[in-house]
Structure 1
Amino acid sequence: MKLDKRELSLQTMYLKHGLLAFQTMYSQKTIDRWNHLLDPIFQSRKSEEPSYVQSNELLDLGILNEVISTKLLSAITVLDPCPVLFQCHCMEIDWNHITSNTYYSDFDGWHRDHRDPNIKSVYGCRPFSIYIYLTDVKHTSDGAFEIIPGYETGPLESNLNCCNLTGHKGTCFLWNRDLYHRLNEHNLSIKQRILKLSLQTNGWANSRVQLDEFKRARTILNGISPALSYLFGSHFNNNLSIKTIPFTRKGDLPQLKPLDYSAKTEIPSKASIMLRKFKNKVDKALGF
């Protein structure tokens, strides 16, 4: 896989940090239009917490084609020439109506995604995810995503340098799923929306490519967009699984933002976690 100077720079930054924060990828006007299209669907699913709009629905709405732009696809294929989706959805979170994700966990929500650390693709690639904020996340308490860059193998502990990813709606970033990360809880009444793509190399076990939503997406995209059809598994689990995605980069890459390492991890003690859990049980028993 031969890379030009800009592509090599993007790859080098990713290999060093495991995190790429992109400059403006989607305009506020575009995000507002997506939200307008999503509003009635989320309204019909407001009893679900969190609620989801799946990949085939995003495709029907015309959102997905805009999300996976030439710039984004160029960045994806620099990192893995055989990328296949295993998650593709938009989620809406009402932090006032779900059980605490961080406060009562052993590590305040910090975790790595479970993947065999010894398995790599023929190109040495590992799974990664992409987040796009569809609502403003101006502060940590607005549901900001936090991650510990460049720390794939060490134990989780306090006082590690981490990035707190805030920004206006449209903020987009990509990260290595082997890194410790968490989504901070939103303490406001406004619901939070995030569009998420997760990718891994073609040929890995991937049960989602057999879901109806992925099959329908392939049917729609076949012959219209071979690259997007490939992302949804058109070449999965056959003798062409290592065939690279039918997409040619033409130098149209996203601009990268510098990373801010000003945040520090604060891991609670075992005693404080036990006390929290005990208090939570008491509160529930008393009906609070």
Structure 2
Amino acid sequence: MDYLKQELKDLETLQSSVMIPTHTEIKLYDLKNEESKDYELIKVKEVEPLKENASMSEELTHKKLKEQNKQIAEQNKEKLDAIKKQFASNLNDLFFNEERDCKLLEYKGFVVKAYKTKYQVEFSLSPKDNPNIAYSPSNMVYKNDTGNMFSSYNFCAEIKFDGFLKKLDNAITKLPEKIKELENSIETTKENIAKYTRLVEQKLPYPRLEYLQALKWDHKTLIDDLAKMGKDRDYKPVFNPKSKEVLKKMNAEKRANLVDEREEIKEQANQEVHRPMKKAANDDYDMGM
């Protein structure tokens, strides 16, 4: 429960860190030379269609705006080409920088880092002023192709800037949705804990109480493992569900009880069969006397 509350607090901090500038601002790091460069892609102004009876002044203004937009678009293209080139270079360098955090870029109030293993690249977001908080969106984990798992294939080169930026924008946009999901998860967990606590406190004979307690223990174990995985990427949880063993034991006891019941019914049936025979034998004995 404490882990879920901390995760919720972190997501709320991330949400409050979102900055939406007038223009697209990106600080891109150069992994090879350990430098950075700021880029600003200017938003093109919308130019309304020229009216039929437009004055000469309006025509000149319209023409000037169109020329400005054309110039801005050309400048944006040059900047975007430079960003894509540097991004591709960074991803190529990332392939050879295994198992260490690499600061990739800054965008909308976040520092975006990359962490590469043999099997995947994971991107995470941290607020600029709070690097201790890191959020790794599920849509920003790029896995190595299984067919090339054990080769020298540079799967990082498959990550293109356009697709990457769309996923990054999507992850930032969906932060409020993630916060709501986590709030619901916390409420559900609270309800389950309260329900199990009531069952335990009632202290009534309940055949599945041990199973419910085992489920509660398994839930706590999973939450603890998630917390450890969040702090240590190399942590490999070994989860052996306690509830599985309890359920196995309950089923075995149930089968044993069924066998005992069948044996008891069989014994009773045998007694019923022999009772009339015994009575008849006694009657014959009395007549003989």
TM-score range, shorter chain: under 0.3
Q: Which protein has the larger Cα radius of gyration, Structure 1 or Structure 2?
A: 2
Higher helix share: 2
> Normalized against structure 2, the TM-score is what?
0.20
Higher strand share: 1
> Normalized against structure 1, the TM-score is what?
0.20
- More relative contact order in 1 or in 2 (CA 8 Å, sep 6+)? 1
